[in-house]
Amino acid sequence: MPPAKHQTAPLTDELTIDQAIQLAVDHHRGGRLLAAESLYRGILEVQPKHPDANHNLGILAVRAGNFEAALQFFKTALEANPNKVQFWVSYIEVLARTNQMDAARQVLERGLKVGLKGAAVDKLTVALAHPTIHDSVSRVAEEQKGVTTSEKQNVSPARKKPKKQKGIASGSATHGKNSEPNSADIDALLKHFNEGRYERARSLAQVMIQNFPLHPFGWKALGVILMEMGNSSESFIATQKAVKLMPGAADAHSNLGNTLRALGRFDEAEASCRQAISLKPDFAEAHNNLGNALRDLGRFEEAETSCRHAIALKPSLVAAHNNLGNVLRDLSRFEEAQAIYRQAIAIKPGYAEAHSNLGNTLRDLGRFEEAQASYRQAIALKPGYAEAHNNLGNALRDLGRLEEAETSYRQAIALKPDFAEAHSNLGNALRDLDRLEEAQASCRQAITLRPEFTEAHNNLGNAQRDLGRLEEAQASYRKAIALKPDYSLAKVGFAECVSLMRFHSITPSVYAATATALTEVWTRPSILSGVACNLLLLNPEINELLALEVGTRSNSTPSPYDADTFDRLGKDPLLLALLTSAPIPNRNLERLLTNVRLHLLNTALKTNKEGSNSTAGLAFFCSLAHQCFINEYVFACANEELQQAVQLKGLLADAITSATDIPPLWVIGVACYFPLFSVDNSETLLKRTCLTEIRDLLTLQIVEPLEELKLRSSIYSLTTIGKGVSAAVQSQYEANPYPRWIKVPKANTPKPINAFLQHKFPNVKILPIGNLHLPDILIAGCGTGQHPIQTATNIRGARLLAIDLSAASLCYAKRKTQEMGIANIEYAKADILKLTSIGRAFDVIESVGVLHHLENPFDAWRQLSSMLRPNGLMRLGFYSEIARRDVVKARNLIRQRGYGSMPNDIREARQWLLEMDRTDNLGSAVRSADFYSLSACRDLLFHVQEHRMTLKQISEFIVGNNLMFLGFEFTDSRVTSAYKLRFAEDKAATNLTNWEVFEQENPDTFIGMYQFWVQKNTE
């Protein structure tokens, strides 16, 4: 603290040193710091080593941030009077604050050797300050404390006068009107703040600012108080003013960083925290606040480093432990997070926030009972803690205790009426309780409170969808996505909602969103393919093309397409997205694409004959070739057309051999009729620079199939394949991987298996499985991998064994799994009927759409059930006898007509069935998406073995085999809502007798399959 900036008040005949020190202390404690400093310095002119004057000047130096001067003052005071504990404490604390930890330890050790003791000494290693934003207020308060004075001396009334000093008279030690608030006002403000009386504390801070507008304490305190009151905008004004008044104060910058965080200005918050650290590198609280800002910016690894730095500087900083736990949760390191929260609680057992956050981590780990116990502990410590009541509601909802969850959410709202999260969560609980109108109202209230609350918009969409208000629901989902473009739950919600809709005119926003949903894979593309066709058929350009088509064209028919037709089609994002994602399940679009393919073939052949090398419509034609490969060349093809396609294939093979330039249209034309890998030496096409524009097509039809061939040797046999039906089924699937798929949705955050199912079936009590954190899961009949990949990404810690009869399908599955970087799936070739021989048990077994193709489905089900561990879970899918009625009719017609199951037979039979449907309604047999690809159509109408079940049969098996029915799965949540309207007493929707009645009344309910979960009942 440079002396040149201050005048010194010398002592006079009327003022003894004792009187001077007492007067200085009075000024100091009253907040009149300039007057106090002047008197302290006057004392040092008379007595340079006066212990109290030196010590108190050290306190003032600390306040000014001049730690170097403070150390010198404290050292002088200690040397002058080593018997005063406070001198030791002050000196050691400043050594520690300036990161001179070794020196601080040495001084402490020296003091202990001479008998230094007391509470202050004991607390040197444990921080007293509350490690939160409140520190900045309490720190200022602490600067008013620690002032020392000399012990009173017995002085007689006729005491001697001290030696007269030269200079200014004694009256110069005072400064007229006070320039700083007094300690009594500061103490009163702090008392109200610390006891939660924020309005009163704010009033006192505002009065202080009016009286002392240039003093930083009032501004700093007001900023902190307003933050606690949730008024971040006004807090910013006050905190910014404090920074301007004291630009060198690290804590002011740190507070500003917190305020900027609350305003969502995370980059500026980071800058403010870094400024605080540059001013005071050992400022643990600023490192902690920087960690929070970095976490807000999604820079979790850096945030972790900052929090750990804060803890290293100040191990007792409980907020840093708590915030480190939050970051570790963000990084999905839940076990580490749990340990850190427990450390925070060990440091401060009454830290309610840490108990609540520990509960959050226990929820992440699927330990719901322990989680709710942690929340209850937080509430016991802090009954008005609205967030803990809200979190308790979440845990109770996880446990299926919905009425209790509702109570907790309402308690949170009672404590904090503007608590948007609690309103939104209440909406979820009410939805689970089938009180959909109330659920919608709660979500709307959350949005009113916070219009940009993404999750509330999504939850509102869920309630609206259940109510059948699909137009409103899709708008809610799109709003959520607009607010948070990477919000996967809203994307899935939109995709599933719009898939249930049928449009009569194009809404541009929905058209664009559906195209994006297919391109970015918000859900399985097959779910969106129907509505995408619906929207495409409303496109005027496609309608015009369809009007030109009156049937399948031939080579003798002139082409109706102009030169720009396909360039225009190649600019339609929805059309291109659908062509390259899934089979197109619409007869009119199929007819159009079949004729366009013929046009492309003729154009490609002319390219050779006339030398034309036009690239018009290349993007569209490439997408058409993708579609043909995906649907396994299911389009009708007349003999003449096939001969021309073979001719083009020969031209391509010759061009490959001769190493001449190859027109891209040749490659595309062939790819529309045959997979390119079937062309001799096709892999050399990958090296042709003239084909860079069609690189994706080459990858799809050459690179990927060749990779699958290489994987054949890595697929091992877990069992032998039985004769009879098993061998016949294997033969059917070995020819081509089935189902052929291109994309799967990106994974949501995986959940523990019990949480995953409890949210799926909120009204059912699900017994905990023994191996909760690393469940062993069997996928019996995994096909080409969509099913195991979905399970692997949905269930946390899952370890999967996926088996199938078909090596071709397994290779496809393994390639896709490797592409996605998924490492927790083991693929093997096996016969379900021989699986018990492997001697393994599983926590979960899934077999959807598989057992009904075996010779005796119920025997197979029984064998799989025997492989379940206690409380084991099963997911199954069976064909419904009622819902399959149209398929049965079509299968009988095919049998009567004598069609085989070879590709040409299937193509011909499809066209015949489409004609039959004009006069004899075949319903779902020709409207199912499965009808529109070769292998899926074979599975639908030509399978060598198919059983269909009834709910009565399924119910009898469940009862007879000690299983517990958990519930059906539906993409369309309106089905469950309709059932509950019909059978209101069955809240869990698990009464299969009721479902049998419901299916009789609504025969298309299970048009896909009966898909359901059961649990092994060991209670």
DSSP for 78-126, written as a single string: HHH-TT-HHHHHHHHHHHHHTT-HHHHHHHHHHHHHTT--SHHHHGGGS
Question: pLDDT value at position 144?
Answer: 36
pLDDT, position 510: 95
Q: CB neighbours of 216 closer than 8 A, spacing ≥ 6?
A: 242, 245, 246, 249, 252
- The whole-angstrom separation of Cα 600 and Cα 594 is 10
Count Cα neighbours of 432 within 13 Å in the Cβ-side half-sphere.
26
Buried b (16+ CB within 10 A) or exposed e, 700-735: bbbebbebbeebeeebeebbebbeeebeebbebbeb
Residue 388, both tokens: 């803990």
In angstroms, the CA 238 to CA 220 distance is 7
Instruction: Give the integer Cα–Cα distance in Å for 1 and 147.
Output: 17
Long-range contacts of 546-551 (CB under 8 A, 24+ apart): 546/588, 546/591, 546/592, 549/591, 549/592, 549/595, 551/591
Tokens of residue 109, six digits: 């050790």
Measured CA to CA, the distance from residue 234 to residue 635 in angstroms comes to 67
d(CA 932, CA 569): 21
Give pLDDT, residue 61. Answer: 83
Structural contact between residues 1019 and 767, judged by C-beta atoms closer than 8 angstroms: yes
Minimal CA–CA distance to 416: which of 388, 441, 438, 393? Answer: 388
Provide the 3-class DSSP secondary structure of residue 31. coil
Nearest-angstrom CA–CA distance, 133 and 990: 51
Strand order in the sheet with 776-780: 716-717, 825-829, 799-804, 776-780, 842-848, 868-878, 1010-1016, 963-968
Query: What is the per-residue pLDDT for 726?
Result: 62
Residue 914: both structure tokens together = 């489409």
779 Cβ contact list (under 8 Å, min separation 6): 787, 788, 791, 800, 801, 802, 803, 846, 847
- Enter the DSSP assignment of 392: H
Structure tokens at 941: 């109408």
pTM comes to 0.77
| φ and ψ of 826, to 5 deg | -105, 125
Angle, helices 470-483 vs 488-498, to 10°: value is: 150
Provide the token pair at 126. Answer: 């444990």
Q: Which of 496, 533, 539, 548 is nearest to 517 (CA)?
A: 496
Q: How far apart are CA 442 and CA 450, in angstroms?
A: 12
pLDDT at 922: 93
Percentages of the chain per state (helix, strand, coil), in multiples of 5: 60, 5, 30
CA distances from 473 to 426, 435, 493, 891 (A): 18, 17, 9, 39
The one-character DSSP state at 301 is H
Looking at 467-539, list the stretches that DSSP marks H as alpha helix, in order from N- to C-terminal side: 470-483, 488-498, 508-520, 525-536
Using DSSP's 3-state secondary structure scheme, residue 971 falls into coil
- Looking at residue 160, its pLDDT comes to 32
Q: Are 340 and 328 in contact (CB under 8 A)?
A: yes
Distance CA(34)–CA(678), nearest Å, equals: 93
Q: Could you tell me if 722 and 833 are in contact, meaning their C-beta atoms sit under 8 angstroms apart?
A: yes
Tokens of 107: 């001084």
Q: What is the mean pLDDT of each run of 10 residues along the chain (1019 residues)?
A: 39 65 82 79 88 92 81 92 89 82 82 78 49 37 48 28 28 42 86 87 91 89 89 90 89 92 92 95 95 94 96 94 96 94 95 96 92 97 95 95 97 95 98 96 97 97 96 97 94 96 94 96 95 96 82 60 86 96 97 95 79 72 97 96 96 89 93 96 87 89 95 93 67 71 82 89 90 93 94 94 94 95 95 94 97 94 96 97 96 94 94 93 94 94 92 97 96 92 94 98 96 90
Distance of CA 15 to the CA centre of its chain: 71
CA distances (Å), origin 990, targets 11, 331, 760, 769? 93, 38, 13, 20
Which single residue is written with the structure tokens 């948070």? 484
What is d(CA 271, CA 942) in angstroms, rounded to the nearest whole number?
A: 67
Helices (H), 795-854: 807-819
Q: What is the pLDDT of residue 158?
A: 28
Which residues neighbour 655 within 8 Å (Cβ) at sequence distance 6 or greater? 661, 662, 666
Q: Is 742 exposed, middle or buried (0-12, 13-18, 19+ CB in 10 A)?
A: middle
CA distance 665 to 697: 12
